[in-house]
Every structure is written in C-alpha cells, then in structure tokens.
A and B are shown apart, each in its own frame.
Chain A
Amino acid sequence: MRFGLVLCLIATLSLIAAAAGCIDSGSEKNVLIVGNHLMSDARELDQGTGTGTLITEKIIITETLVATGEDFSLKPNLAESWKMINDTTWEFKLREDVKFHNGDEMTAADVKFSIENINTKQPGRTTLIDYRDSEIVDKYTIRIRTNTMNPLLPAALHSPDTAIISPKSYDANGEYVTTIGTGPMKLASFNEQTGEIVVVRHDQWWGGTPTIEKIINRGYPNPNTRAMIIENHDVDMTFDPPYSEVARLDAIEGIDVLKFNTPRTYKLDLNFDHAPLDDLNVRKALAYAIDRQGIVDNVLYGVGSVATGPFLPTMAWANTSLVPYTYNQTLAKQYLADAGWTDTNGDGYVDKDGKKLSFKLLTYTERPGLVPMLEAISSNLKDIGIEVEEIAMETGAISPMLAEGDWDMYLIAANLAMVPDPEYVLKTWYTTDGTTNRGHYSNTEVDRIVAEGHNLITPKERYAHFRTAEGIVYDEVATINVAYYGVAIIMWDNVQGFTYDPTAHDYRLSPFMTVA
C-alpha cells in the first residue's frame, strides 16, 4: 500500500514538473500581452452587432471619425473637419491618407456604409445620431442628415459603436467574415473558444508606424485571477483587480499601478414621488450625511475620487464653482430637524407625526464597488437616525422594482460621456421627460435651459449655457453624487509609453507603447 502511495506521489509531482517546463515565457520584443476582464466572443468583434469598445479601444483595429482631447473636447480623427450646413445636415471632410487593413483607401462610401450598418443592426446605439440618410459629396466629403436638428452629431460620432469599417468585413450575403478597420493594429487571429485575440501592426496606418508589433488579448473574468496573473507576469498589463489588492500589487517591485477617473459616476437617484424625498431639507441632510472621502478611501481603496457635481471636474463643460457637500453629521441632523424630523421617543431613529424616517436603498451587483458602498451609505444614514433597508440584486432582478417605483434611493454607476457633451447627461438624468430620470425630478427652469441649449452649436456657447443647469440640479440635490468611478491599470515596468485616454471605457491602448 505504501508503495502505491509513493508511486502516486511521484507521478503527480512529475506531471506538475513536466507541465511547468511547458509554460512559455513570452520573450518577444514589443509584444504586449493584455489581461482583459472578459473572454470575448465573436459578436464583439463585429461592428454591426458589438459594442465597438473592444475593437476601437482594447485591440485598436478600428477608429472613429471624431476623437477627444484630455478635457473631452472634440478633435479630428478620421474626419479632418466638420461643419453644420443647415439645421439637419452636417458635412464631414475626411482624411485623404487613410488605408484599411486590406490596403483599400477609406472613402466617404465606407463611412456611409459603417454608419448605416450600425444604424440598421443596432438602432438603440444610434439614437443620439438621429440618422436620416447621408449624401456622398465627393470621395472625401460626406453629408449626414438627421431627422431633427442635432448639434450632438459630431460628439455622437466619437462613440466606438460608430467605428469605420470596410464593407469587405462582410461577404456577399452580408454575413460577418472579419473586421477590416483603419486602426494602428489589424486582426491576425481570434480563438472562438477561448476568446483570445491577436492583432498585429498595420504598417500603412495614417498616424505613423506603431512601435507595438503585436497585442495578445486574453480574458480573465475573475478580478482575483487578474491580480495573480499580473503578479506572476503571465501578462504585461491588466486592469481592475479587487480594489483591496491594489496597494499590495503597487508594492511589488517592477509593477506600476496607475489610477485614473473614468467618465462614470457613483450616484444615488432619489425617488421624488416618495415623501419626504421631495423635501429639499431632507435631501440636503442626506447629501451631508454621506462620508464620501471615507467611502473613497475604505470602499474603493483610492480607485476613484470624491464627487461634487455630476460631471468630472476635468470635463471642459464642468461647473467648477460647485461647493462640496462635505461630510457633516451635525449639519445633516440640523437639516432633518428643519424638515421636522427629530428623535422624539429616544429609539435612535428620527420621526415625524409618529412615523419613523425609513428608506429602501437599492443597488445591483454587477460592479464590485456598489454593494460595499451601499453598506457604507446605509451606515452613514443610520448615524443620523434614518432607518434603512438595503437590497442588492443583479440588474435584471432590480428592473421590475425600479419600474414599479418600489424604491427610495438607487445607487448606480452611471456613464457620463455616452457622448462627450453636457446635454446628454443633463437631458436624460434631470429633465422632466428624461429617459433615465428614474426618480421623476422636475424643474421647469432646468427643462427650459436644456431645451434652449439644444439650439446652440459652438462648444463654447453650449458649455457655458449648460453650466447653469448643472448648478441648479446640484443645489437642489436632484441626485446625490457620491464618487467618480476609477480604474486601476496594473502593468510591469517593461511596458512603456502608455497614455491614458479619459474618454475610454476603462482604458484605450496606445500604438506607441513599447515592451522590453
């Protein structure tokens, strides 16, 4: 028996040793191995059905007509310039030196094809374009017509969903074959089973010769796995390990941790249909009761930052004169008392007319920071005498509760730059008919400012105009902004030349990175 045991042990150890010998070290130069957060499926590579984020930002094989600068202001990309011809027509002049990966030149016809491709197949993703049709003026000029006047069109064409592809990405029957874009990298292989994507340098790229030779994109859906895979140097770069692991990884010699804000904010939507949330004093009490710095330090471990207004202060249109609702329990209790809520029976909860102040707080589980953040917020609210019921479920299960109005506050990490322009957020979150105005906040002044702002064309005018609306919704505590969403990018120091694109979904790779 003992002999059998020893034999088993030897066999196991030799199997492990043999296996260890097979692990490749990946020593090629300028080959970047990235640990992405999802195991991609073929759908995501197809511009017509995917989100565009993967192909435009993560493997950089496609590009959009419009790009943005660090302050989210628009700048030329595949389009050199654009202007409004009349209320419903924009004209875009295209670069004349752009080649697709198959060597074909990019022309206005390809742009028309790409926009119509996404517009037909994914109408929900092109609502902001409000596309009617387009006219090819010449080889490098296209006029895009919208159903109604749309000053947001150039900003909407910054969305990765509107990436430009060659019609040859599909066969004669319209079936997807491969993605032929104009980006600095081109698709070399895609493993349908594991989701591994390999892209190689596109030598004819209009932006210069990329230094990176090859990018291997692998999916590691578990955050703990991403922390270990980078620690083991199986990948050169990854992002969003568990927030609690960030400091430990940063302490490892040779590993750099970069933390940035991404255009997304953790905010509490408030249900204005449920009294007393329609009382400004109660809302201010809530705003002052939340320890935002504590949440950023202890829940997000520094991945993110304290929020004031709905927009990131770095956005060109942000109203930077807003005064923060700094954590102050005394002031919060004072606002509650002003609204008539005090603890009359000494049970630790404030009450009015014999009724305890009690709220139902919802959030969803798909983003790691939300559930612990909800717990921290609940604890802050209990500290000022508010009874709290917490519910956290996946978004699919939360939807019916939201639709039926069975909630008081909803903690959500909402996207701030679907289009790099203030109108989208202010209109959808805060106007009376706003599509994501879940809590039914309503202010005729805000409605008027947003409606008037729609007619302004130049960014300068628009930004100044919308700042007023941002100030009003902030002062009225239409939503409680808790923290700006952050991303932690982890890379080994053999990777150089990474630049952060604040408009990207988490990160965008740069073609001018090097890997030693």
Chain B
Amino acid sequence: MHHYLIKRTAYLILTLVIASMFTFVVVNATPGEPAEVLARHLYIGLEEVAPPELIAEVSERYDLNKPLLQQYLEWVGGILHGDLGHSILFNKPVDRLLMLHLPPTILLTAVAMSFATIAGLVLGIYSALHQNKISDHIIRVGTIFSVSMPGFWVAVMLILVFSIWLGLTPVSGYSGPQYIILPAIALGLHTMASIIRIMRTSMLETMDKPFVTFAKAKGLPMRRVICSHACKNAFLPVLTVIGMSFGALLAGSVVIETIFSWPGIGAMLMKAISARDLVLIESTIMVIVFMFLIVNFVIDLLYHVIDPRITYE
C-alpha cells in the first residue's frame, strides 16, 4: 500500500508538471499577441487599434516581452512558493480571485454531482430491476434524451418551466440555497444519465452472477440481496464515471454558470481568455487539474474500500 501511495504521488506530480507545460504552451500559442489584446481590453476598447507604443508599454509593464522559458520558470517558481501570480485584467492576486470564485464552482459541482449520483443510482437500479417494463423504457428514453440535449438548452428549458411557468425557483443569481437547484440539475443531468446507463447494465450483469442466485436461494429478503450484495458489486464501474465526470463538471460549467449568473470560475476564466490574461488562465487551469487529480486519487483509494478484493500491491 505504501509503495502504491508513493508511486501514485509521483505520477500526480509528473502529471502536474506535464499539465503545466502543456497549459503554458497552449495558452501562449493561442492566436493573438497577448500585449495587443490586453491593450485593447484594458485601455482603448475592443474595436480600436492599439498603437505600437501602447503595445510596447503594456509588454514592458506586465513583463510580457521576456523569453517564454523565463516566463514559464518564473510562473512555476511562483506556484512552488505559493504565489499563483497577479491578474492583469482584474488587477488582483490570482489566489484572491480564486478564493472569491472557486467556492461557488466547487459548491455547484458538488451539488450537481450528488444529484447526478443519487438520482442516477436510484433510477439505474430501478430500471435494472424492472427490465423491459414500461418504467424501464421511459427511463431509458429519458436517459438518451438527457445525454443528447446540450446543457445550455436544458438550462433555458428548466428556467422556462420551473421559474417562468410554475414560479417555483428563481431564474438566475446567487442569493440563497434556492438558487442552486436549477443550475445543479442542468449541470448534473448529463452525468446522471451516464450513471443510470452504467448502473443499469452493471446491475443486470451482477444480478445474473452465482453469488446473487446463492443469496436468493439462502432465502434472504430481496431488499438485502439488492442492497448488500448486488449494488455494492455493481457500483464499481459507476465510481469510475463519477471520477471522470468530476473534471468535466468542474471545467465544463462555464455555460451553465453564465446562464445562471453563477459567480464561479467559469465567467472569470472566459473573461481572462478573451483578454489573454495569461497568468490567470494558466494558474486557474492548474488549480482545476490539481483538483481533478486529487478527486481521482481519492476515488482510486475508494475502490479498495468498496471491494476489498482490489489490492494496490
């Protein structure tokens, strides 16, 4: 186990290093000279032409004319010393911006993930146990629908039905617990559908396994057969989906956050990208990558908790 932990930590660090290089290269290779784009965003307006003197001044002021390797090393060096850098666009330290905008994103992701997991498991199990009955067909059609519909459309439809027509939820904003309901559903729906499908298939396979037949033959009540024996074994593939989806939800909530005016990192990242606020983009992406890696690390450890047959030697 210790050996495994050390190996995984080494992989985690290696992934972070590669991710930092990749992020830095991609962000810097995006078309548009950062100093020119920043000059228009900060000083003269989107549709104006930045004169060369202004571009030169912006480059000088924000150290954008240093060699790329030096910029990269300074940025990584800063991170290693706990300094994520300073946002040019927002004129604030990046860690301060993340403190403001990361918690709403984490909250939204966590609620969406919980909704997707609970609803996905319940409906997946229900669907498997009622295989080929009408309720199973309805759930399966609903699943295909949820996977196919783009998030922004679902979000707008949810607002239309629950806020405008029924008046049950607020349209958009961040002023209380009621404001999280629709964005969490809109964000989690896709993952929920994936979980339903995986759980259903996995459950169907498990229900045919000899140990389930044995449990039934022992005369155990059906509830115990499902909960204690079948579900636990069927859950493993779902855990993988949860781990993979977490990253997608964390980074992919940009559209949902914009529609619901949710003050997360999505809107901030979009502003940063369009203004080429390099340090803010790079540091924010690194934080997302780090969180994604940690969550998947924890999930890998959870495999053993759920199924002790899995060992890490």
State the A residues within 8 Å of B (CB).
1, 4-5, 8, 15-20, 22-23, 39, 41-43, 49, 122-125, 127, 192-195, 218-222, 224-225, 228-229, 231-232, 234, 366, 393-400, 412-415, 418, 435-436, 438
CA distance A220 to B175 in the complex (A): 13
Contact A234 B100 (CB under 8 A): no
Q: How many Cβ-Cβ contacts under 8 Å join chain A to chain B?
A: 152
**Residue of B at shortest CB range from A192?**
B100
Given A122-B43, A193-B101, A435-B51: A400 touches B259 (CB 8 Å cut-off): no
11 additional contacts, CB 8 Å, given A39-B267, A228-B171?
A16-B169, A18-B178, A122-B42, A124-B44, A193-B101, A193-B104, A219-B261, A232-B163, A234-B173, A399-B31, A435-B51
Contact partner of A412 among B31, B47, B261, CB < 8 A?
A: B47
Q: Which residues of A contact B261 (CB under 8 A)?
A: 39, 194, 218-222, 225
Q: Which residues of B contact A399 (CB under 8 A)?
A: 31-33, 36-37
Contact A225 B37 (CB under 8 A): no
Contact A193 B33 (CB under 8 A): no
CA distance A84 to B104 in the complex (A): 54
**A210, chain B: closest CB distance, angstroms:** 26
**Residue of B at shortest CB range from A402?**
B49
Contact A228 B172 (CB under 8 A): yes
**B267, chain A: closest CB distance, angstroms:** 6
Contact B90 A41 (CB under 8 A): yes
Can you report 9 residue pairs joining A to B where beta carbons are below 8 Å apart? A1-B125, A15-B181, A39-B267, A43-B89, A193-B104, A218-B261, A225-B159, A396-B275, A436-B48
**B62, chain A: closest CB distance, angstroms:** 14
**B252, chain A: closest CB distance, angstroms:** 16
CA distance A41 to B261 in the complex (A): 14
Given A39-B263, A366-B46: A19 touches B168 (CB 8 Å cut-off): yes
Q: Which residues of A contact B49 (CB under 8 A)?
A: 435-436, 438
CA distance A393 to B37 in the complex (A): 14
**A503, chain B: closest CB distance, angstroms:** 15
Given A16-B181, A229-B172, A231-B164: A395 touches B37 (CB 8 Å cut-off): yes
Q: Which residues of A contact B125 (CB under 8 A)?
A: 1
Q: Which residues of A contact B122 (CB under 8 A)?
A: 4-5, 8
Q: Which residues of B contact A397 (CB under 8 A)?
A: 30-32
State the B residues within 8 Å of A (CB).
30-33, 36-37, 39-40, 42-51, 54, 57, 89-92, 100-101, 104, 118-119, 122, 125-126, 129, 156, 159-160, 162-164, 167-178, 181, 226, 258-261, 263, 267, 274-276
Contact A194 B263 (CB under 8 A): yes
Contact B129 A1 (CB under 8 A): yes
CA distance A124 to B260 in the complex (A): 34
Q: Which residues of B contact A41 (CB under 8 A)?
A: 90
Contact B267 A221 (CB under 8 A): yes
Q: Which residues of B contact A400 (CB under 8 A)?
A: 31-33
Contact B32 A8 (CB under 8 A): no
Contact partner of B46 among A122, A125, A395, CB < 8 A?
A: A395
CA distance A39 to B258 in the complex (A): 10
**B123, chain A: closest CB distance, angstroms:** 8
Contact B129 A228 (CB under 8 A): no
Q: Which residues of A contact B46 (CB under 8 A)?
A: 366, 395
Contact A22 B176 (CB under 8 A): yes
Contact B178 A19 (CB under 8 A): yes
Q: Which residues of B contact A5 (CB under 8 A)?
A: 122, 126
Contact B91 A43 (CB under 8 A): yes
**Residue of B at shortest CB range from A41?**
B90
**B82, chain A: closest CB distance, angstroms:** 22
Q: Which residues of A contact B164 (CB under 8 A)?
A: 228, 231-232
**B45, chain A: closest CB distance, angstroms:** 7
Q: Which residues of A contact B118 (CB under 8 A)?
A: 8
**A263, chain B: closest CB distance, angstroms:** 12
Q: Which residues of B contact A435 (CB under 8 A)?
A: 48-49, 51
Contact A221 B31 (CB under 8 A): no
**Residue of B at shortest CB range from A16?**
B168
CA distance A221 to B256 in the complex (A): 11
Contact A396 B30 (CB under 8 A): yes
CA distance A413 to B45 in the complex (A): 12
**Residue of B at shortest CB range from A232?**
B171
Q: Which residues of B contact A220 (CB under 8 A)?
A: 172, 261
Closest 10 CB pairs of A and B: A19-B178, A124-B43, A396-B32, A397-B31, A396-B37, A124-B44, A20-B168, A222-B259, A194-B263, A225-B172
Q: Which residues of B contact A366 (CB under 8 A)?
A: 46, 274
Given A193-B263, A220-B261, A415-B47: A395 touches B176 (CB 8 Å cut-off): no
Contact A49 B91 (CB under 8 A): yes
Contact B43 A123 (CB under 8 A): yes
Q: Which residues of A contact B163 (CB under 8 A)?
A: 228, 232
